A and B are shown apart, each in its own frame.
Chain A
Amino acid sequence: MKKNFLWLAILAALTLVLGACGFGGDKSSDDKSGEKTLNLAIASEPPSLNPQLATDTQSGSILNGVFEGLTRVDDQGKVENAMAKDVKVSDDKLTYTFTLRDAKWSNGDQVVAGDFEYAWKWALEPKNASQYSYIFYAIKGAEAYNTGKGKVEDVGIKAIDDKTLEVTLNNPTPYFLELTAFYSYMPVNKKVVEKNDKWFAEAGDNYVTNGPYTLKEWKHNDSVTLAKSDTYWDKENVNVDKINVAMVESSTTADRMFQSGDLDFLGAPFQSIALDKVNSYKKDKSLNIKDTAAIYVYKFNTKDDVMKNKNIRKALTLGMDRQGLIDNVTKGEQKPANGVVPKSINGWDSQTTFFKDNDMTAAKEALQAGMKELGIKDASDIKVKLSINTDEAHAAIAQYIQEGWNKNLGINVTIDNSEWQVYLDKVDNGDFQVARMGWSGDYNDATTFLDQYTTASNGNNQTGWESKEYQTLMAKAQKETNDETRLGYLQKAEQVLMADYPVAPIYDYTTLYVVKDGITGMEPDVLGNINLKNVKISK
C-alpha cells in the first residue's frame, strides 16, 4: 500500500512541478513614472500583422499605429500627407506622383519609394494570395497581374528614384489618396523582408516599421504592446509612450475591465461595448456616438420561389419598424437605412428617399399584390426562412423583425441560425430566402457599396439580382472625371437597384465608444478607424 501512495505522491509532485512553470511570468506593465500608457483591448488575436495580408479591423487598428502609408485620413475624413511630402496629380487624373519625405524605418534604414513598390507588387503577386489585393485594382495592370493574366512589368507602380513614386491608374479615382492611407498600401522594408519571409509572425528585430509606434511585444493570443518610435519623422507629435492591447474575446469581460480602469477605451474598432451595457453608458452620458460608413441589410434571394416576387420583397422591406428596432434592440442611435449606401458616405446626404420606414399600409398593399401574382391565398401560407449567423446581436435583430413580420403582415417566419462558416457557405450557394449581411466601406466612396451589385456572379452580390441599366450607369461613373456628374450616375444606379428591392436596408452603423477622462484624439473617422498617432493623454 505504501508503494501505491508513493506513486500517487510522485504524480502529485510532478503535477506541481509542471504547474509551477506555466504562469506566464510577471505582469509586463513595468510602469515607469511619467510614462504615458494607453490600455486597449481587441477581440481576438490579429490573424496577421503583415499590412499586405491583413484583412480585419483588429489587425488594421494595430497596423495603423505601427506603419504609415503615403497619406493619413484624420477623424474628419480629411486626407493629409504622411510618408508623402507632396502629391502631384496629372490633368487626366490618371497619374499620381508622390514625393517621399525624409523618413526612417525603425532599424535606421531610409524609407524609399522602392519599399512601396515592393510591398504593393508583393500584394498583387498571385502566389502570395493577399485577400485584399482587389483594393489595388484601381491601378493600371494590377488586376491582370493579380489574376495571372498580366505581367508584373505592366503594373502601373514605379519607383522613379528613392524619393519618387509614380502610380498610373485605370480610371480617374477620386478617392485614390484615401486608398493610399489604407493598410494594404503601407510599405514594408524591402531589405529585411526579402531576407526573412516570416518577418511578420513575431515582434522583434525583423518586424521593422515606419509608423509612430514600434511593435515592442507580441504575446500570441494574449496581448500586443506598442512603444513610441524613436525614428518616426513626426515623433514630436506623438504623445503616448506605450500602448498595451489586450486580447479579450468576451465583450462583457472587456466592459468590466473598462469599469475597473484596466482599459482606457472601449469601442470599435477595438473591442466593442456589450449590447446590454449600451443603455447604462447612455444614462451616465459617457457614451459617444459617431456615424459610420457601414450598413446592415437583409438580402433577398431573387432566385427563390417566393422571393423572386418583387412585391413580396417590397412588403418585407417596408414592413419593418427600423426606428423601433434601433431604439429597443441595437440601441446605438443607428440611422434607419434607406438604401444600400450609408448616408455618411461622401455626397450621399442628397440621395432621394426610397421608402418610408415602418409603412404598414404600403407593405400590406404590396403583400396583397405579391400574393395575387404568386397565387397565394392566405398570408400565413407564406413561409419565410430568415437566415442569420450565430451571434447575440443578429439573433436579437432577427427576432425583433420576425415578430414584426408575423404580427403585422401575418407571415410565418422561422429563423435559420447557423455557425458562421456554414452560413457563408449557404448564402454563397443560394441556399436561403432572406439573409443578413453587413458591409463596411473600405474607403469613403459610394462604389465600395455599389460595386458588389454590378453582376449577379459577383461573390458579394448574393441576391442573384442584376440589371443592364445599373451596369451602364456604373460603367459611366467609372470613366467620368467630373465629380458632380459621377456622383449623379452613382445615385441613379442606387435608384435603379432600390426600385427592385433585392436588398432590405436596415440601418446605417454608428461607432459607439466610451473613453476615460483625459484622453483625447480617439474619435474614429467615418470608416471607423482610429489614428493612434493622434491620441493624447493629459494626466
Chain B
Amino acid sequence: MESIIRTEKLTYSYAAAEGEASAPVLRGIDLEIEKGTFVAILGRNGCGKSTLAKQFNAILLPEGGRVLVSGMDTLDEALVLEIRRRIGMVFQNPDNQIVASVVEEDVAFAPENLGFPPAEIRARVDEALRMVGMYEFREHAPHLLSGGQKQRIAIAGVLAMRPTCVVFDEPTAMLDPQGRADVIHIIREMREEYGVTVVLITHHMNEAVYADRIVVMSEGGIAMDGTPGEVFGQVEAIRALGMDVPETTELLYELNKAGFDLPLDALTVEACAQAISRAL
C-alpha cells in the first residue's frame, strides 16, 4: 500500500519558559498512514496527538526526524503549499474556522485562494456541499446554523480543495448527539464513498470503533497500534493509559468476568448484541 503520511523518528518540543528545560512533546514517532484508510488517534490530553496532527500538514515542523507527505518533506518550504493542498485539517470549534457570511462563499474560500477559474470553483463548492449534505443551505448565513451544521460547512471548506487526506482534531467535542452523529457519518462516507484518507483524533471511544486502525499515544510516543478489536480488547492496558473502552466492550468484558465467554472485539451495537444473543 502507498503511504500518504510517514513520520520518521519525529521529535518536537514547545519553547519552554526561561530557565526551564523544554519538555519534548513528541519523542521519536515512527508512523505510517496508508492512503485510503481511516486511522483514529487516541490519547490523554497533553499526550502529543494534536501536536502530531499539526505536523501532518506543516503547521508545525519537526525538531528532529522528518515528516513525508506523499514523499514530500514538510521541511522543504517550496513544498508546503502542495502539502497543505493534499492534507486538510478540521478543528474542534467550527466558529473559529468559518470566515464568510454566506455558506457557499465560505466553502469557496480555499479554491479561490488556490486560483481556480470560477466554473471550477462553482463545481468544487457544489460537490463539497453535497458531500456533507448542506447543499440546500448554500445561501444561508453560517452563524445561524447549529454547531453540527457549522462543522459540516467547515468540512466542506476542506473538501473543496479535494484533499487526499483530512485530519480531524476532535471535530465533535463541541457538538450535541445529533451533530456528532452527522459528522461521524460524513467522515465514514468520505472514506468509503470517496476514498479520502481520514485521520481522526478523538476522546470518544465509540467514534474510534469505525476506524480501520487505532493508534494510542501516551507521553509523546505510540503506546498501542492495531485494529479497534485488537486495541479495545486489551481493556486493562487501555485503562492504564487513562483511556476507556466503548460501552459495548465494557459490557462484554464485565459479562466475561461473570462467567460468559464472549469475544471482546464485538464493538458495534449490532455486533455486541449478536454476540450476546448467540451466547444465551
A binds B: no
